[in-house]
Amino acid sequence: YFFRIGGEEFIILLTNTDINGALTTAEHIRKTVEEMLHTAENEIITISLGVTTVKHGDTEYSMFKRVDDYLYVSKNSGKNMVKSDSDNLS
């Protein structure tokens, strides 16, 4: 499932996927976007991603807050990267 939640922010919800599968998918998306050339400006387009899994006791808010935090860690760490639960950022 793919949702737009704000100006340039989107959520991709993967069902029946563990953290390793989610990270593989996120990295594939990141590399695909990085390889796209914006022909009008001849600029490279990049993407920053946050990845999390549903944890016991999660609410929609806590899960989206956590993934949003990972997204901003990615952006503030130089952009064009994936940050996740496996980075021990919380």
pLDDT tens per residue, the chain (90 residues)?
999 988 889 999 999 999 999 999 999 999 998 888 666 667 778 899 999 999 999 999 999 999 999 999 999 999 999 999 888 654
Rounded CA separation 55/67 (Å) = 12
Residue among 8, 41, 43, 60 flagged as catalytic: 8
pLDDT for the residue 39 = 65
Contact between residue 84 and residue 51 where contact means Cβ atoms under 8 Å apart? yes
Whichever domain contains 60, its CATH number is: 3.30.70.270
User: Three-state DSSP class for 72?
Assistant: helix
pLDDT for the residue 79 = 92
Please give the torsion angle defined by the CA atoms of residues 54, 55, 61 and 64, in that order, rounded to the nearest 10 degrees.
-50
pLDDT for the residue 40 = 61
Residue 8 annotated to the active site: yes
The domain tally of the chain equals 1
